[in-house]
A and B are shown apart, each in its own frame.
Chain A
Amino acid sequence: MKILVCISKTPDTTAKIAFTDNNTKFAEAGVQWIINPYDEWYALVRAIELKEKDPSVVIHLITVGTADVEPIIRKALALGGDEAFRVNASSHDSFFISSQIAEIAKQGNYDLIFTGKETIDYNSSSVGGMVAELLDLPYISLATKFELNGATATVTREIEGGEEVVEASLPLVVSCQKGMAEQRIPNMKGIMGARTKPLKVSDPVNAEAPTSIISFETPPPKAGVKLIPADNPAELIRLLREEAKVI
């Protein structure tokens, strides 16, 4: 049983979002980088839980990025990955990234591919579906629970206004969100062990990048809060109806 977990590097959730170079580049100065929370807390930790239940499970990690993503990969290895791949390229296009992941996945014959539900920086929620299509595999998006019974996966996923339970045979691509697993902190043994785990670097395969980022914008600042006295909440209701027209 082999699981491939897709890992992405994102700014910390509290990072200041600003841009440089005439609003064409994210301002990286002083930014703390983390493993995309959905990739780490849900995708990777659920894979680790499956390995704890069945020690024959092998967990591989993949990330598409330049050498500066390696601390993030080492952290993921410290949490519990067995081996990692880094495709040496820098891209924000989901199709380009998915093409690289699909190429590594083809060589590895994985039973399961886990991604986070989206990255917290580009929020495209696209890589899981694209990888699945490139490999012609079923894709279950936005999973909140994942159970395995032999070669059949039972997955709970979010739908509008509730949830549904879906069954599929492996191999399978799943995007993971809250509910799949609980956040963990790597222990010292894991951190020491991660230093010597294999991290294979490869060059990207030729793939198109159908989109490119032209520029960024930050939303206009709010005009400021209109405060209503605490003893007159009826005034708030009136403003919401007559001024804001939202009720």
Chain B
Amino acid sequence: MPVLIFLDQSDNTIKKTTPEVITYGAKLAAQLGITAEGILLGTVSSDIAALGKYGVTKIHHVNDEKLNHPDGQVYTQIIAQAVDAIGAKVIVFSNNLHGKAIAPRLAAKLKAGLVSGAVALPDMSNGFVVKKTVFSGKAFANISVNTGIKIISVNPNAFQAEASGGAAEVVPFNATINAAKTKVVSVNKIKGEIPLSEAERVVSAGRGLKGPENWKMIEELASVLHAATACSRAVADAGWRPHHEHVGQTGLAIAPNLYMAIAISGAIQHLAGVNRSKVIVVINKDPEAPFFKAADYGIVGDAFEVVPKLIEAAKAL
């Protein structure tokens, strides 16, 4: 009756959130006194067994390139077969885009209670209670899962990956693979950029920058800090920056280690998308900007003067 961890991949590469969820699943298994096993669908070019160092002892691998592109329905059917075959009790996903497409389907199929957006290990002192973010990061809810099989999807970057153990045993899993009812026609990945949802550091700017032509310094600062770039809603709506950079309540919700907000006032809707960031830096010329209340570090100053100096200082590191 192991914990089963969904090992997420895309483009033949294990995703960055996978070591985080393995660590979570392994600790959960230790709490329950059972083993942590993984399920991996599709072909992967890296050493799968090496994922054992995060605490997974056995990996069930459906090594079929038909599965390289996740189809929620097909994946759900296969994972359900694996849950059944190995008698998994708890299934762990990352609450990333794949997790959001698959975990709810699997929960409905298995009639399993699902907590999506978990930020901590379950409290088992009285039942099985998992803390998750609610109200767009403005609060947490403690959710009791009352079913025999339980599914948890863990928020990206909420749980630190920890390497300690050795290699995992990789075993093939023979699944019945149905034909997908969806077909991917084209994929358009923005090359050379760090995907915002996976970025550990994010440099973001708002309307205070006055126009799209002033983003050069933001991109340069992001580049020297190895950060992704983001923007406020007003900036995306004005067409200064692409929509996929919009963070906030109606855009992308992110939780990087560092969120640097430049010339963004910090409306409550913007904060809802970034308030789970570990460290928030605010640079704004208005000392009354509400964002300073949510910040860890701040500079009251003009972005056009401060940012070039920041670039210089960061380059000197």
Taking a contact as CB atoms under 8 Å apart, the answer to whether A168 and B183 are in contact is yes
A194 to chain B, nearest CB (A): 24
Taking a contact as CB atoms under 8 Å apart, the answer to whether B116 and A159 are in contact is no
Taking a contact as CB atoms under 8 Å apart, the answer to whether A226 and B142 are in contact is no
Instruction: Return the chain B residue nearest A238 by Cβ.
Output: B313
Instruction: Return the chain A residue nearest B8 by Cβ.
Output: A160
Partner-binding segment picked from A57-65, A71-79, A105-113, A125-133 = A125-133
A144 to chain B, nearest CB (A): 8
Taking a contact as CB atoms under 8 Å apart, the answer to whether A142 and B107 are in contact is no
Complex partner residue of B185 from A41, A154, A178, CB under 8 angstroms: A154
Complex contacts, A178 vs chain B, CB 8 Å: 243, 246, 250-251
Q: Mark B63-92, 1 if CB is under 8 A from A, else 0.
A: 000000001110010000000000000000
Alpha-carbon distance between A128 and B103 when the two chains are bound, in angstroms: 11
A246-B278 CB under 8 A given contacts A37-B250, A166-B184, A216-B139: yes
Instruction: Return the chain A residue nearest B193 by Cβ.
Output: A161
Taking a contact as CB atoms under 8 Å apart, the answer to whether A169 and B306 are in contact is no
Instruction: Return the chain A residue nearest B72 by Cβ.
Output: A139
Taking a contact as CB atoms under 8 Å apart, the answer to whether B297 and A236 are in contact is yes
Complex contacts, B15 vs chain A, CB 8 Å: 160
Complex partner residue of B183 from A139, A167, A216, A217, CB under 8 angstroms: A167
B105 to chain A, nearest CB (A): 4
Whether A222 sits at the interface, judged by CB under 8 Å, is yes
Taking a contact as CB atoms under 8 Å apart, the answer to whether B198 and A247 are in contact is no
Taking a contact as CB atoms under 8 Å apart, the answer to whether B104 and A216 are in contact is no
B111-127, CB < 8 A from A: 111-117
A29-43, CB < 8 A from B: 37-38, 41
Question: Interface residue count for B (Cβ, 8 Å)?
Answer: 98
Whether B102 sits at the interface, judged by CB under 8 Å, is yes
A222-B293 CB under 8 A given contacts A160-B96, A210-B112, A247-B201: yes
Complex contacts, A246 vs chain B, CB 8 Å: 200-201, 257-258, 278-279
Q: Mark B95-113, 1 if CB is under 8 A from A, else 0.
A: 1110011111111110111
Alpha-carbon distance between A134 and B76 when the two chains are bound, in angstroms: 12
Whether A49 sits at the interface, judged by CB under 8 Å, is no
Complex contacts, A132 vs chain B, CB 8 Å: 72-73, 105
Q: Which A residues have a C-beta under 8 Å from some C-beta of B?
A: 11, 13-14, 17, 19, 37-38, 41, 94-95, 98, 120-134, 138-142, 144, 154, 158-169, 178-179, 208-219, 222-223, 225-230, 233-234, 236-241, 244, 246-247
Taking A120-B272, A168-B183, A247-B317 as known contacts, 20 extra A-B pairs with beta carbons closer than 8 A to each other, sorted by chain A number, are A13-B249, A13-B269, A37-B250, A123-B136, A125-B100, A129-B101, A129-B108, A131-B108, A133-B108, A139-B72, A160-B197, A209-B146, A210-B113, A210-B114, A211-B113, A213-B142, A214-B144, A225-B297, A233-B313, A246-B257
The 15 listed contacts between A and B (C-beta, < 8 Å) are A13-B268, A124-B117, A130-B107, A131-B108, A133-B73, A133-B106, A141-B101, A162-B187, A178-B243, A210-B107, A211-B114, A211-B144, A217-B142, A222-B296, A225-B296
